[in-house]
Structure 1
């Protein structure tokens, strides 16, 4: 049995030679095999191995039992659930002691707001904001504790998971409510600096997640506001990782909003903030954000240099220091972002090649990105003079949009429809796509 906050050596041994990111990917695959939903990433694995997570929730427990048949949770280094939940785990003066304001019973409202969900996007979205009336009634704890910090962190994970599967359109408005709760918790204060740090980071990450929902649903001014709020939170907290993430999202938004020079500056600022974080995968993504800005400016030389740097950094592989929010960034995303750069430069055939690889490589867990890259492929093929292939890709994208709600992807498909209608409207396959797109 593991004592509170002692490293979980047994679980570390189960990981073996795999990196935390690789092991997290294996956990997600195992979850899909048994129909579970977990948003496992390198940070979660790190929290388990450090002893911060002393007992997994029921979903993770089922996944771990599936991965390691015959092993009980105690064999994996976890403590019994009744110890974690019972008063014995929080006795006075012990290593796990907490003041009364930090007990789980005081965070029931927050847990309902942040952690309740369903597989249906609309129901899940509604559940994210379930506790908003209680907040206005003054029921946020007078002091925030471990339970509240955990609830904020879980809200970030749940929003990201739902966005990956369903897109942003049905989630954004509801997700602003937990964000307001998170910042009210910051104002409530805490007696522990460690909890204050987690709340600062969690609120900032939540602001970025909500900002991304605004971004993907076409609410650019809202997204800009949320990203700026996260950046301010990062600066106040002196949190370089959060600052790098905020600048990364700002660069992406600036590119989509037609401000490519701002995209370059923000991406470069993100790289400056990320230098001390020891994550080459993060630096790779930030180089891609910079490349997108250069492509928007039509600077082929600078774009090519940034793309080369991104691929070189990516090739160094994942690391334990890779941020939790980067779970989406694999080879498929690398190909997809290069496709976007090639499109902006007018290299339609090369763009289509990268977009096709992105679709082929994309993990099915990321339904929104699969739809995105399929729409990207359709647009690139249309502009490259391959109308039949473009129409087929457009049809597949429409199929995927039955489950994914993303204004950004629909805007891309609308552009493809205009290109196809103007050049190849008489082609039977194109006519079929255009008819379906108009009715969608």
Structure 2
């Protein structure tokens, strides 16, 4: 009911539609994402978002989108772009905060990175429930000093939906699944990805299970939904399974990650969703490589490339070629690895496309360099590994702390193996400096590996201090 009443009040945004001009919604979304990268923002803009803006469903964009739109159209304010001024949207008609949600906020010092993440979540609408939820989210983020506190917000979008549905197996209820439920699933995916970018997976994984369960309960209960709505829900649930699986992967829960990825792949196959299938195979290849199953990594990457062939996204094909390269490197096949790296560069050079999946926002030049570094490291070509890892760390936006820590950790390990012990210790210190705000078992394991390699070289400058810090800061095995 909420979505239908909101739609009835929506006024089409004709000013924004005029700014799009002759470009399709997908093409314009690609322009928005490109503009965001130019100013260091990260927005998950797709054709559906552009459609919602033009339909008037989004009366006022969130702060990240506002900065991007102002960059795209200098001199125009929100009202010139056809939006309602933020103070009018936020000013009235707001329901009081739910007591249980208010109690969930912590009383620790505010974390600026988490505050920035809060500003980049749900878009503003004139729906009082959404305003209330956004305010609760903002308070939870702004008063919470850790990813664990921030993760408490995961359930807000889907909590009410979940509570209104029966337990699995309880039989049909006649409830019609609509846009509001699908949007809640899609928003949960975006929130998880944003928090992971900032903080890493540890502390997020357990909380992320709730929206995933809600998504699949919706699938079970949604037999009366429209076919198009059901397709979106299946895709959203599959993407959510992949996001939760990644949190399990990054926090060292390999069996859990494998299960979630398999669930997403099954959902993709049932829905006939080639894009979701390619994503699932990409993640499965990555996990197999990390688990030492290198032939499986190659096969999964190749299957992902077959699924992605007709999707029109060179960047997706580039990433999948890099996944295959990592598998060949793990097998010690340098020729196979180099062939895949060449193919990855060819695809990457074709640039971004309107068909690039939303989840690939992380895949820019820093990630390209990082994945190459990993390949050369597995082949024992330490000088080349150092070159690419250093490039990845230099190019990475420092606001995305988790990836910065990851790239520096790869650099430290390659330097240590390559005999540059003092430089390795310096890079290792840089990673340890970030671990207070980043919780990733994978990164911690990489730092521990660097410490093991450096342990016999305590005479090198900086190494004793680095080893001492590792003993203090890293969890005991």
TM class by shorter chain equals: 0.7 to 0.9
> How far did 1:114 drift?
9.6
Alpha-carbon distance between aligned partners in 2 of 1:78 and 1:397, rounded to the nearest angstrom: 42
> How far did 1:76 drift?
2.5
Deviating beyond 4 angstroms after TM superposition, the runs of 4 or more aligned structure 1 residues are 2-8, 13-16, 28-32, 42-54, 77-83, 104-117, 130-141
> How far did 1:117 drift?
5.5
Alpha-carbon distance between aligned partners in 1 of 2:215 and 2:134, rounded to the nearest angstrom: 12
Task: Say whether 1:10 aligns with 2:36.
Answer: no
Alpha-carbon distance between aligned partners in 2 of 1:262 and 1:52, rounded to the nearest angstrom: 47
Task: Say whether 1:118 aligns with 2:150.
Answer: no
Aligned partner of residue 399 in structure 2, secondary structure: coil
Alignment partner, residue 393 of structure 1: 427
Alignment partner, residue 176 of structure 1: 209
Superposition map of 1:23-34 within 5 A: 23-27=32-36
> What residue ranges of structure 2 are gaps of 5+ in the alignment?
1-9, 90-126, 167-172
Alpha-carbon distance between aligned partners in 1 of 2:21 and 2:385, rounded to the nearest angstrom: 43
Q: Deviations over 1:49-89 (max 9, x none)?
A: 77586534443564356434553545435589999xxxxxx
The alpha-carbon distance between structure 1 residues 315 and 402, as it changes in their structure 2 partners (threshold 3 A), is: same
- Please tell me the root mean square deviation across aligned C-alpha atoms, in Å: 3.4
Alignment partner, residue 202 of structure 1: 236
Aligned partner of residue 286 in structure 1, secondary structure: helix
Alpha-carbon distance between aligned partners in 2 of 1:137 and 1:42, rounded to the nearest angstrom: 30
The alpha-carbon distance between structure 1 residues 203 and 39, as it changes in their structure 2 partners (threshold 3 A), is: same
Alignment partner, residue 294 of structure 2: 260
Alignment partner, residue 370 of structure 2: 336
The TM-score normalised by the length of structure 1 is 0.84
> How far did 1:384 drift?
0.5
> How far did 1:131 drift?
7.8
> How far did 1:427 drift?
2.2
Deviates more, 1:357-366 or 1:171-180: 357-366
Please, which of 446, 449, 460 is the counterpart of residue 427 of structure 1? 460
Superposition map of 1:18-97 within 5 A: 20-21=29-30, 23-27=32-36, 39-42=43-46, 46-47=50-51, 51=55, 54-59=58-63, 62-63=66-67, 66-67=70-71, 68=73, 70-73=75-78, 75-77=80-82
Aligned partner of residue 76 in structure 1, secondary structure: coil
Aligned partner of residue 71 in structure 1, secondary structure: coil
The TM-score normalised by the length of structure 2 is 0.78
Task: Say whether 1:157 aligns with 2:190.
Answer: yes
Aligned partner of residue 129 in structure 1, secondary structure: helix
Alignment partner, residue 317 of structure 1: 351
**8 Å contact kept, 1:110–1:151:** no
Task: Say whether 1:240 aligns with 2:263.
Answer: no
> How far did 1:260 drift?
0.3
Q: Deviations over 1:296-343 (max 9, x none)?
A: 111111000000100111011111110000000011100000000000
Alpha-carbon distance between aligned partners in 2 of 1:208 and 1:307, rounded to the nearest angstrom: 25
Alignment partner, residue 127 of structure 1: 153
